[in-house]
Chain A
Amino acid sequence: MSKINEKINRKDVGNVLDKIAVHRGENRVDTVRRLGYFVVALVLALLFFFPFYWLIKVAATWPSGSLYAGTPSLGLESLELYNFIRVYYEIPFPRYLFNSIVITMLAVVGSLVTNSLAAYSLTKDFVGKKVVMAFMVAALMIPYYVTVIPAFLLTNELGLLNTHLGVALPFMTFIIGTFILKNSFDAIPDSMLEAARLDGASEIYVLFGVMWRLAKPALATNVILAFIQTWNAYLWPLVVVSDRKMQPLPLALASFTTRFDGNFALQYAFAIMVLVPVVIMFLLLQKQFIRSVVQGSVKE
């Protein structure tokens, strides 16, 4: 081995060792930073999850008096389903569930159709389009509570008080949903729609057969938003429903809370029974929901 090689080798080795040291240091800093993020995220996640945990813990406690007896604890001593059964026997839960499902289905299907039609029309150029858009944006600024009395009078005129359709009607369209769909429809190339028309497709087929297939994430977002706002609606059903048999779940929950004031185990059990369908719905559609939010944030 020549001396030149020896010198080069020593330098190379030194350089490599330095680089490794720097790299290790970077890795260590990166790992510590990631660990920090993880710990913060974990603490936040636990903080957000705690109310739900408490809801489950109280709902799963039987007898409910044991909540106040002895030393309070955070642990889940036993998982007792009795409170849910008691709720089932105390109120006509299947009837309320049926009401909520029918009202929500009507609102979801109705909002998909009406929002799609509105969004499709807004993808076209026509005289006064900007005025219509401005009008829709302005309508967003009107507080919901202001619209309740006119909507009630109209529903009364239509003879839809105490009916599923009467409760679902105002939820059958919402402006945010129209704009979400409009943005999604705008992204579809015109050439594709032209090709469909050349193949003999009508405008209805272009909308529901072509555009719907290409705008699934936006439709899923629409479904989720319509589902959540209808399922959780309280004020509007309170105004239009006076017949107990026609109450949806949130109204039933409110009257149940009044009736069993102080019995937290039953109240929480009922709250979980109301909450479960929403959670299932979100879990089923979360991929589309997140995809739609991400797509909406990027403008290319």
Chain B
Amino acid sequence: MKDSIFSTLRQIRLLFGSLSLRDLLVNRLVLVIVVTLVVTGSVQVFASANNDGHFSGQVTNAAGEPVADATVVIQGLNIRSQTGRENTTTDENGYYEFPNQTDLLEFRIIVTKEGYESTVIRYHLYFKGQNDQIDVTLHKSE
């Protein structure tokens, strides 16, 4: 009994001993797995380094001059519904910002200003809370 167990163990060791580390590690399947893991890891690292949810931009007119006091509204979009709106106004240089938008992925950005046509842009980020910037150009209403 003891001999047969030792014999079986020896055979199993021989079986795995005939496989070299090179055979196990250097093949196309392992290469695909490694590439997938590296790409996924890189994306995760990039996403975690840029997911503060800081969304900003500048509002300008057709001549490229900043538009101050324009109202900027963002509204999150789900597949079958919309989330609450958040709004802010642009400063004297036409800049606006929405901090801490960590759940934002797909949304509508609406920019209004008296004397200008209101602009609606549908936009999406590539991961939730992505820091991004979108500049909007307003055209004068007739």
Contact = CB atoms under 8 A, between A and B. Distances in A.
Contacts of A86: 79, 105-106
Given A62-B124, A89-B128, A260-B79, A204 B15 contact: yes
A192 B75 CA distance: 73
Contact of A205 (B14, B106, B122, B127): B14
A269 B118 CA distance: 33
B120 to A, nearest CB: 13
A260 B124 CA distance: 19
Interface in B109-137: 122, 124, 126-128
A239 B106 CA distance: 36
Given A82-B126, A284-B29, A204 B105 contact: no
A202 B106 contact: no
B83 interface: no
Contacts of B11: 201-202, 204-205
Contacts of B18: 209
B15 to A, nearest CB: 5
A98 interface: no
Nearest to B19: A209
B22 interface: no
Contacts of B93: none
A111 B82 CA distance: 49
Contacts of A89: 105, 128
Q: Is the interface of A mostly helix, strand, loop or mixed?
A: helix
- Chain A: number of interface residues, binned into ranges: 10 to 19
A147 B8 CA distance: 37
Interface centre among B11, B14, B122 (most CB of A within 10 A): B11
B12 to A, nearest CB: 7
Given A82-B124, A209-B18, A204 B32 contact: no
A260 B78 CA distance: 12
Contacts of B29: 284
A217 B8 CA distance: 27
Contacts of B128: 89
B2 interface: no
- Chain B: number of interface residues, binned into ranges: 10 to 19
A89 B102 CA distance: 13
Contacts of A266: 79
A31 interface: no
A6 interface: no
Contacts of B105: 85-86, 89
Contacts of B32: 280, 284
Nearest to B31: A284
Nearest to B36: A280
Contacts of B28: 284
Interface in B1-60: 7-8, 11-12, 14-15, 18, 28-29, 32
A53 B16 CA distance: 44
A63 B122 contact: yes
B7 A202 contact: yes
Contacts of B12: 204
Interface in A189-224: 201-202, 204-205, 208-209
A77 interface: no
Given A205-B14, A209-B15, 10 more contacts: A81-B126, A85-B105, A85-B127, A89-B128, A90-B79, A201-B14, A204-B8, A205-B11, A284-B29, A284-B32
21 contacts: A62-B124, A81-B126, A82-B124, A85-B105, A85-B124, A86-B79, A89-B105, A90-B79, A202-B7, A202-B8, A202-B11, A204-B8, A205-B11, A205-B14, A205-B15, A208-B15, A209-B14, A209-B15, A263-B79, A266-B79, A280-B32
